[in-house]
Structure 1
Amino acid sequence: MAAIALTAELREETGKGAARRARRAGKLPAVIYSSDTETRSLYLPAHETFLIVKDNANALVSLTIGDEKQLALVKAIQRHPVRRDILHVDLLAVSRTEKVDVDVAIEVTGESAPGTIHAQEMFELAVSCPAIEIPESIALSVEGLEEGSVLRVGDLTLPEDVTTDVDPEEVVVSVMIPEEEPEPETEETEGEEEGEPEAEDEDA
């Protein structure tokens, strides 16, 4: 995964009021932390940051902070509960060779045998890999699989240098025949149940 360039600036002010003023000015409050340096508060360009993270759960960015260059991984995004716009971002400082723990989406491809459907039971896989080699997704094909087929974590083909500690027997996808929905019962009218009454003889 290639790192996307992003320019940041150190944030001196903190608090809700400062954050609101920054957002109105097109700046997004953020923090960057690592295991060996203190956490720093930043401003990121709001629009550029949105474009980077909107379709990328594990975005890798190359930050320019003044004269400093720092590789960072987006670890958490805080959104407005109603508007869903981004309010704050947490970044983890990493190196190019450092291994990171992330959740990667599992993408099921193909079509199972005619008359069957597949049920996906695991949608993400926890993996460890170098920061610059995080896969966007892990593909798993169900092409032509028959009823009763089960694909497990052990059936996933992971890219080189990507590992997982998840139990290989964990089920990812199972193939089955869909249950037929019972036809709705129609209520018979009282006349239909008991038969139509005979017409009276007008000459009697």
Structure 2
Amino acid sequence: MSEIKIKAEARTEFGKGAARRIRRENKVPAVLYGHGIDPIHVMLPGHDLMLALKQPNALLSVDVEGDAQLVLPKQVQRDPIKGFIEHADLLVVRRGEKVTVDIPIVVTGEVISGAMIVTENASVAIEAEATHLPETIEVDVEGLDAGAQIHASDLKLAKGSSLAIDAETLIVNIVAAPTAEQVEAELETAEAEAGVERDEPQVEATEADAESEDTDSE
């Protein structure tokens, strides 16, 4: 994974008001910490940081007044509505150091007709060098049939990486696709549990009205 260089500015003002002013300037308040150093409070260019963090476990080289720090995103707070980055906690790492991170699972290939892919875990925790983190881990399901399972131990990890979870953790499960009747039955059960009543088909209502009219005429 290549480093993404970002130039930072030292942050000297704190508090909610200061943070709002920083964001109005399209910058993001952030803190760098780890390896026993005192927390470094900085401001990062919002657009550059947003682009960098589109890459999972992005390795950033943050230049703070000429002093470059190699960091990984530890916690990123986003606006729940607009999605912009409100604050970032960045963990300082060293070259050659191993870290534990969650890597996204990407499923490739097609299962046989009548089978369905169920991703039980969308990511897997691994231990790897901070400067050699994979962006994703691919799982090939080409030609698999219902009943096939892929566990963490089946994953193909990059050299130097190792699992940080139980090897028997289920990652992908191949199951039989439900029939139309099963889907309808599950829908009816869910509606019943939710107290939803279905409207009777119009034709049935018409027939019921006709029977009622016949009874009245007698």
Aligned to 1:154: 153
Change (3 A) 1:94 1:112: same
Aligned to 1:42: 42
- Does the alignment pair 1:99 with 2:114? no
Q: Secondary structure at the match of 2:32?
A: strand
Aligned to 1:199: none
Deviation (angstroms), 1:191: 8.4
The structure having more radius of gyration, on CA atoms, is: 1
Deviating above 3 A after TM superposition, structure 1's stretches of 4 or more consecutive aligned residues are: 183-193
Aligned to 2:196: none
Deviation (angstroms), 1:57: 2.8
Deviation (angstroms), 1:164: 1.2
User: What's the CA shift string for 1:125-173, capped at 9, x where partnerless?
Assistant: 0111111111100001000011211111111001011111311111111
State the TM-score, normalized to the length of structure 1.
0.88
Instruction: List aligned pairs for 1:1-204, cutoff 5 A.
Output: 1-53=1-53, 55-182=54-181, 189=204
Q: Secondary structure at the match of 1:17?
A: helix
Return 5+ residue gaps in structure 2 as ranges: 189-199, 212-218
Given that 2:110 and 2:143 are in contact with CA atoms closer than 8 Å, whether structure 1 keeps it comes out as yes
Return 5+ residue gaps in structure 1 as ranges: 197-204
Aligned to 2:195: none
CA RMSD of aligned residues (A): 2.4
Q: Secondary structure at the match of 1:39?
A: strand
Aligned to 2:193: none
Q: Secondary structure at the match of 1:189?
A: helix
Q: What is the distance in 1 between the residues matched to 2:169 and 2:81? A: 35
Deviation (angstroms), 1:26: 2.1
Q: What is the distance in 2 between the residues matched to 1:81 and 1:114? A: 39
Change (3 A) 1:150 1:191: same
